[in-house]
A and B are shown apart, each in its own frame.
Chain A
Amino acid sequence: DTAVSQTPKYLVTQMGNDKSIKCEQNLGHDTMYWYKQDSKKFLKIMFSYNNKELIINETVPNRFSPKSPDKAHLNLHINSLELGDSAVYFCASSQNRDSLSSYNEQFFGPGTRLTVL
């Protein structure tokens, strides 16, 4: 069974469109994330949700709106798509531990390759 799944795997769309990417995890984790990986393979965090609450919001344009209907899902909606949005978007999840722990291992989904034409 896939631990962290994303749909779709590939998304090709025109500039100006609105699109959504869905993410689901069946690991029972409390925290979910969205990362963007550009063409140079640089992976950068966009958002983090803990128990459906937004805890990290990097300097991402407000055209990007994450939504977490429950702990197992974190969807990413993007309005008015631009060429620069083309990238691979990764969802990840981790089990929330207290902030003194060294690290909450993050499990990544397979990624969604978004191409904006």
Chain B
Amino acid sequence: EDKVVQSPLSLVVHEGDTVTLNCSYEVTNFRSLLWYKQEKKAPTFLFMLTSSGIEKKSGRLSSILDKKELFSILNITATQTGDSAVYLCAVPVQGAQKLVFGQGTRLTINP
């Protein structure tokens, strides 16, 4: 069965800290891995990763994929209170039509 596991499930840090969120996966016919940020409403797309070792970057957020060890990390540097959210990792399966999500990491940034 296709599976995506995230850790930690919950993380509380102070503003300015750097955090690393983890996502491991076991799926057949892997093509890509996605990161989403979910605040109060709908998940919003952050990154799509398809190749190992190539870092994707957007401002203070960056992510990298390791296809040999079957995991990805999402880094956030110099965290701000606005980074507080649930971060979801997902992998498309079944011809890329279906997304399998991890449980999410609830990140809380305290001022």
User: Quick check: A43 and B97 within 8 Å, CB to CB?
Assistant: no
Q: Within 8 Å CB of B41, what residues of A?
A: 110-111
B13 to chain A, nearest CB (A): 19
Given A41-B38, A56-B94; A102-B103 close (CB under 8 Å): no
Of the candidates B41, B96, B97, B100, the one having the most CB atoms from chain A within 10 angstroms of its own CB is B97
Q: Report the tally of A-B residue pairs with Cβ distances under 8 A.
A: 63
Contact of B42 with A42 in the complex, beta carbons under 8 Å: no
Total number of A residues with any Cβ neighbor in B under 8 Å: 25
Of A4, A42, A101, the contact of B96 (CB 8 Å cutoff): A101
Q: Which residue on A lies nearest to B103, using beta carbons?
A: A42
Q: How large is the interface on B (under 10, 10 to 19, 20 to 34, 35 or more residues)?
A: 20 to 34
* Assembled-state Cα–Cα distance A108/B41 (Å): 9
Report yes or no: B42 in contact with A45, Cβ–Cβ below 8 A: no
Residues of A within 8 A of B86 (CB): 41
Residues of chain A lying within 8 A (CB to CB) of residue B44? 108
Whether A109 contacts B42 in the complex (CB less than 8 A), given A41-B103, A42-B101, A102-B31, comes out as yes
CB distance from A29 to the nearest CB of B (A): 12
User: How far is B44's CA from A110's CA once the two chains are assembled, in angstroms?
Assistant: 10
Which of chain B's residues have a CB closer than 8 A to the CB of A40?
A: 103
Question: Within the assembled complex, what's the spacing in Å between the Cα atoms of A110 and B106?
Answer: 19
Tell me whether A1 is interfacial, beta carbon within 8 Å: no
Across the interface, do A102 and B96 meet the contact criterion of CB distance under 8 Å? yes
Residues of A within 8 A of B (CB): 4, 31, 40-45, 48, 50, 55-56, 90, 97, 99, 101-106, 108-111
